[in-house]
């Protein structure tokens, strides 16, 4: 990303009347925060804005229900063809748009805002910076490139994205620049304590029960700590509420990689990978058609749990 990339994106958005802003499917805090923060800002600029992601039944994870602007989200089939600008945000590749790829291709201009090292620069303008800890930081930079600042609600969304994608500022990706961005957003009048309370300190009782099942299954094999969640385990719990299970596994001393496999309704498994530094899990995920960051990545597996883990162990050992 260069200053000219930012200015080109600003020119496209300034000249647009209709804008689609979309994040990846199964959105996390950074995907939602960056999308809503930027989308609402563009709405304030007088643009007609649609925000969504490419799932049949887009659903906000319960831990992010406090975010402002959720009523502004649209179903994927409500988005128009031939928008002036399509902004894909927090998408490592165009495939992460899933059902919205067609809308992306019909847009007059496209912008890609992302921080994944695996991003293949798939848009007309690419605001991509793998050294940034979150896409929300880049969305903040883009807003400031307009010569303006977010309002308090937009800032709350962007701050949430930064907090969640840095693990509350604990991950190695957290830089001094990250902390400065968070401080700027904090100064805009947000209630920063609400983010920690809602995302990390608020859960249903069912969350505890399913976490207990996952921990009872946990294995530690040759430095790999892993477990899995089946659909039958959930008993009404939203799969999105299991987002932080991987962080519990990752805390095990002596482990080098943490893995959790989460079965989706279709029967496949969403595989999340975390590294304590020795293994580049982004490169590992790419071997299975996924992507991410050196210490946090993922992919989708069509194999059974044991087969998937055997393949991961073999890939790490090779």
Residue 277: per-residue pLDDT: 81
Q: pLDDT tens, 68-117?
A: 999 999 999 999 999 999 999 999 999 999 999 999 999 999 999 999 98
Domains present along the chain, CATH in parentheses: 3-199 (3.90.1640.10), 205-317 (3.10.310.30)
Helix 135-145 and helix 29-44, axial crossing angle in degrees, nearest 10: 10
- Asked if 160 contacts 199 with a C-beta cutoff of 8 angstroms, the reply is yes
Q: Does 134 have pLDDT greater than 80? A: yes
Concatenated DSSP letters of 192-224: HHHHHHHHHS---HHHHHHHHHHHHH-EEETTE
120, 138, 195, 213 from 12: Cα distances, Å: 21, 17, 32, 50
Q: pLDDT tens, 259-308?
A: 999 999 999 999 999 998 889 999 999 999 998 888 889 999 999 999 99
Residue 47: per-residue pLDDT: 98
Concatenated DSSP letters of 4-17: HHHHHHHHHHHT-S
- Alpha-carbon torsion angle 4, 7, 13, 16, nearest 10: -90
Mean pLDDT, the chain, integer? 94
Which regions of 15-71 does DSSP assign to beta strands (E)? 18-22, 48-52
Most confident of 57-61, 232-236, 259-263: 259-263
Residue 318: per-residue pLDDT: 62
């Amino acid at each position: 990303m260069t200053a000219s990339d930012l200015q080109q994106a600003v020119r496209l958005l300034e000249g647009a009347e209709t804008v689609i802003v979309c994040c990846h499917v199964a959105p996390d805090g950074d995907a939602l925060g960056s999308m809503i923060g930027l989308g609402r800002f563009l709405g304030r600029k007088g643009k007609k804005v649609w925000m969504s992601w490419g799932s049949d039944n887009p659903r906000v994870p319960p831990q992010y229900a406090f975010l402002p602007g959720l009523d502004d989200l649209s179903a994927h089939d409500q988005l128009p063809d031939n928008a002036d600008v399509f902004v894909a945000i927090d998408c490592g590749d165009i495939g992460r748009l899933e059902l919205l790829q067609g809308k992306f291709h019909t847009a007059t201009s496209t912008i890609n805002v992302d921080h994944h090292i695996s991003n293949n620069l798939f848009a007309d303008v690419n605001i991509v910076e793998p050294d940034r800890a979150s896409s929300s930081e880049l969305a903040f930079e883009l807003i400031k490139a307009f010569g303006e600042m977010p309002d308090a609600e937009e800032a709350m969304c962007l701050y949430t994205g930064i907090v969640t994608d840095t693990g509350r500022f604990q991950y190695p990706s957290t830089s001094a620049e990250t902390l400065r961005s968070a401080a700027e957003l904090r100064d805009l009048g947000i209630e920063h304590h609400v983010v920690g309370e809602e995302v990390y300190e608020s859960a249903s009782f069912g969350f505890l029960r399913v976490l207990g099942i996952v921990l009872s299954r946990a294995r530690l094999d040759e430095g790999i700590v892993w477990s899995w969640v089946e659909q039958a385990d959930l008993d009404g719990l939203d799969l999105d509420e299991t987002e932080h299970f991987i962080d519990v596994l990752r805390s095990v001393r002596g482990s080098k990689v943490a893995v959790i496999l989460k079965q989706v309704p279709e029967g496949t498994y969403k595989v999340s990978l975390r590294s304590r530094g020795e293994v580049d899990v982004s490169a590992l995920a790419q071997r299975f058609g996924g992507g991410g960051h050196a210490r946090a990545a993922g992919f989708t597996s069509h194999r059974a749990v044991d087969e998937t883990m055997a393949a991961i162990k073999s890939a790490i050992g090779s």
